[in-house]
């Protein structure tokens, strides 16, 4: 019998559709298919063995599919070695590093042909963020591909010229007038919140997370897009076109779906909510394009009339203005040549506004919620902050002129962020083979500094929550102590004044460009609330312990696009 006779032919019902003269090739096709599959499996096996050699010497976890993307890892089941969620994620976050006694872990994922490392060492994180010749942003990662759905932006831009091009325009948006506008709008929105929720004389804030996210949502609507956002918006009737406010709200509240689902799926799936998400996205992008074109025409008209246009005090207008300035500078430098690659495209302006909507409101809103929880559980710090406010402002209402004089207000927000990080993970890819510093320790807690060779193409994930809870670098790491973020003279709170590198806003040239904007919002919010109220937890039953309340108020948080607080209450009591 020939080798071809030994290969199973197609079933008879399929053979009759194949011309007789070609049927003799069927065994060869089977063999070719088997060879391709075999070659693919062998390639995967050799790649996997190569990665095992690369991670030798480190604590290693294995899986078939990646299970590390936040927002998804909290929604899928743990399947050992297939989808090992618990190996990639733990609460408390430091646990999965504490057990193997190493702040550098290695992961092998059969479907990804590269070594993957997780870091919980703030100094290693600083090394990775600042050594731009060794590590770069992995723009191929699904997260950055998803972030660019609304248009190219500073988050998804690759290192080098592309990032500098975005930064040159985006940085021009964040001037003193924008920061002042952020304070004024936060102050105004805080007053609106007190009236709408009937809390001016004190009372129960029913759902802290929902309330604080609404605060920053209203603020970014005005400061970001120049639109007044009502505290309670109306839903359009069937057949009516969504207005800007409604479309903005739909996109904001369905961010995970906007990231993960293509628009065409939202449009064709037979569920009202998915179609509403798609309609909201279409309408929101359309309004953004209209606003950009309108603002550009307005500023061009002023220039043509010989008037020097001042940068608008909303981010979208400021970005259009910065883009026009970049184009004008290019014209002056190169004569009257057309310079199409200067600054940002219209699509990229929209993409950056989408990132401002996400990063400029959701992260800050959730930080507010965790800050209120920490303050409610630590009344002694409320009094420390109140004392600072009174020393600086006296009986006057805190204002933007006091922003640099209230360091403890900012430190409180930074410390709440350290204990419950909002973004959860930041990552880089190795541009070349290099040594990665890390530490291990023994049962007695004696630390040993080590280095591991990471190969070109390896992914390095910075576990920001674990890095900020590493007890070998943060003294009393689980304690709420805002003063750790102050300088020696307590004159100013800063990311650079923490005891060790603070990684929540990233570092180096890719540090969060809206950091100061967020800091201004944090200072205004904390100064506004603590200058007039004391904050108290609301026990669910008589005698509820502080630890039980902490777990309910902070430990109930879940991962979404960002770390999202569970539902809890606090009581505001008016100061006299």
Q: What SS3 class is residue 161?
A: helix
Residues at the binding site for heme are 512
Give pLDDT, residue 22. 63
Q: List C-alpha distances in Å: 262 to 146, 253, 389.
A: 9, 17, 48
Q: Could you give the CA distance from residue 280 to residue 251 in angstroms, rounded to a whole number?
A: 6
Q: Residues 491, 378, 389, 518: what is their CA dihedral angle, to the nearest 10 degrees?
A: 70
Q: Classify residue 132 as exposed, middle or buried by CB count within 10 Å of its CB (0-12, 13-18, 19+).
A: middle
How far is it, in rounded angstroms, from Cα 242 to Cα 251?
A: 12
Start-to-end C-alpha separation, the chain: 101
Mark the ranges of the chain whose per-residue pLDDT is less than 50.
1, 3-4, 6-9, 495
Segment (H or E) for 346 = helix 346-357
Nearest to 191 by CA among 222, 226, 210, 218: 218
Share of residues in the chain with pLDDT > 70 (%): 92
> Could you tell me which of 72, 84, 68, 96 has the C-alpha nearest to residue 466?
96
User: Do 358 and 205 form a contact (C-beta atoms < 8 A)?
Assistant: no
Which element (helix H / strand E) includes 534? strand 533-537
DSSP alpha helices (H): ranges in 55-100? 85-88, 95-98
Q: Specify binding-site residues.
A: 512
Cis status of the peptide bond prior to 530, with omega within 30 of 0? no
Q: Report helix, strand or coil for 21.
A: helix
The predicted-structure confidence for 523-549, as pLDDT tens digits, reads as follows 999 999 999 999 999 999 998 999 999
- At 3 the pLDDT is 47
Quick one: pLDDT at residue 439?
96
* The residue to which tokens 């109220």 are assigned: 533
pLDDT number for residue 483: 92
pTM of the model: 0.88
- Rounded-to-integer distance, Cα 305 and Cα 93, Å: 59
Answer yes or no: are the C-beta atoms of 358 and 255 closer than 8 Å. yes
Residue 111 Cα distances to 53, 56, 63, 108, 114, angstroms: 17, 19, 9, 9, 9
Give 574's strand partners.
533
Task: Tabulate helix, strand, coil % of the chain (nearest 5).
Answer: 50, 10, 40
Distance (Å, whole) CA 566 – CA 550: 12
Q: What backbone phi and psi angles, to 5 degrees, belong to 206?
A: -65, -50
Name the phi and psi angles at 337, rounded to 5: -70, 145
Instruction: Check residue 7 and give its pLDDT.
Output: 44
- Convert the pLDDT of each residue in 40-91 to its tens digit: 777 777 788 889 999 999 999 988 888 777 777 777 888 888 888 888 888 8
Neighbouring residues of 190: CB distance < 8 A, sequence distance ≥ 6: 215, 524, 525, 528, 529
Residue 135's pLDDT is 96
């Amino acid at each position: 019998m020939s080798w071809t006779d030994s290969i199973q032919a197609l079933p008879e019902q399929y053979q009759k559709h194949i011309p007789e003269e070609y049927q003799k090739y069927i065994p060869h096709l089977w063999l070719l298919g088997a060879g391709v599959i075999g070659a693919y499996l062998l390639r995967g096996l050799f790649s996997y063995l190569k990665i095992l050699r690369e991670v030798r010497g480190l604590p290693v976890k294995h899986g078939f599919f990646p299970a590390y993307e936040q927002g998804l890892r909290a929604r899928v089941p743990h399947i050992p070695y297939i989808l090992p969620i618990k190996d990639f994620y733990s609460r408390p976050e430091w646990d999965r590093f504490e057990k193997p006694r190493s702040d550098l872990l290695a992961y092998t994922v059969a479907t990804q042909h590269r070594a993957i490392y997780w870091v919980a060492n703030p100094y290693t994180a600083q090394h990775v963020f600042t050594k731009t010749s060794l590590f770069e942003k992995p723009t191929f990662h699904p997260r950055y591909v998803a972030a660019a759905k609304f248009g190219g932006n500073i988050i998804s831009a690759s290192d080098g010229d592309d990032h500098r091009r975005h930064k040159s325009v985006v940085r021009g948006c964040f001037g003193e007038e924008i920061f002042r506008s952020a304070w004024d709008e936060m102050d105004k929105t805080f007053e609106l919140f007190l009236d709408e929720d009937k809390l001016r004389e004190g009372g129960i804030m029913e759902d802290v997370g929902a309330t604080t996210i609404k605060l920053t949502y209203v603020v970014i609507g005005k400061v970001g897009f120049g639109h007044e956002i009502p505290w309670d918006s109306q839903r359009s009737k069937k057949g009516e076109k969504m207005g800007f406010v409604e479309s903005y709200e739909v996109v904001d509240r369905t961010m995970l779906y906007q990231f993960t689902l293509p628009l065409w799926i939202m449009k064709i799936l037979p569920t009202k909510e998915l179609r509403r998400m798609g309609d909201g996205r279409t309408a929101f992008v359309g309004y953004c394009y209209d606003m950009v074109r309108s603002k550009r025409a307005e500023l061009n008209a002023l220039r043509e009339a010989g008037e020097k246009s001042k940068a608008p005090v909303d981010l979208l207008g400021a970005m259009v203005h910065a883009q026009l300035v970049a184009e004008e500078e290019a014209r002056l430098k190169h004569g009257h040549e057309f310079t199409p690659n200067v600054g940002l495209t219209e699509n990229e302006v929209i993409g950056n506004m989408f990132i401002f909507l996400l990063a400029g409101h959701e992260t800050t809103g959730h930080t507010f919620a965790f800050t209120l929880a920490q303050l409610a559980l630590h009344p002694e710090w409320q009094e420390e902050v109140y004392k600072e406010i009174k020393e600086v402002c006296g009986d006057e209402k805190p204002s933007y002129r006091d922003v640099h004089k209230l360091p403890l207000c900012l430190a409180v927000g930074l410390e709440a962020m350290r204990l419950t990080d909002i973004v959860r993970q930041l990552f880089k890819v190795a541009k070349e083979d290099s040594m990665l510093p890390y530490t291990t320790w023994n049962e007695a807690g004696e630390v040993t500094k080590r280095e591991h060779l990471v190969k070109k193409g390896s992914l390095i994930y910075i576990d920001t929550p674990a890095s900020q809870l590493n007890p070998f670098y943060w003294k009393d790491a689980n304690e709420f102590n805002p003063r750790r973020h102050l300088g020696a003279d307590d004159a100013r709170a800063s990311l650079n004044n923490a005891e060790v590198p603070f990684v929540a806003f990233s570092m180096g040239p890719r540090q969060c460009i809206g950091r100061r904007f967020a800091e201004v919002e944090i200072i205004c919010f904390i100064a506004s609330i603590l200058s007039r109220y004391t904050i108290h937890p609301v026990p669910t039953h008589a005698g509820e312990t502080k630890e039980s309340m902490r777990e309910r108020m902070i430990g109930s948080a879940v991962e979404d696009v960002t770390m999202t607080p569970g539902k809890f209450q606090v009581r505001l009591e008016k100061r006299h």
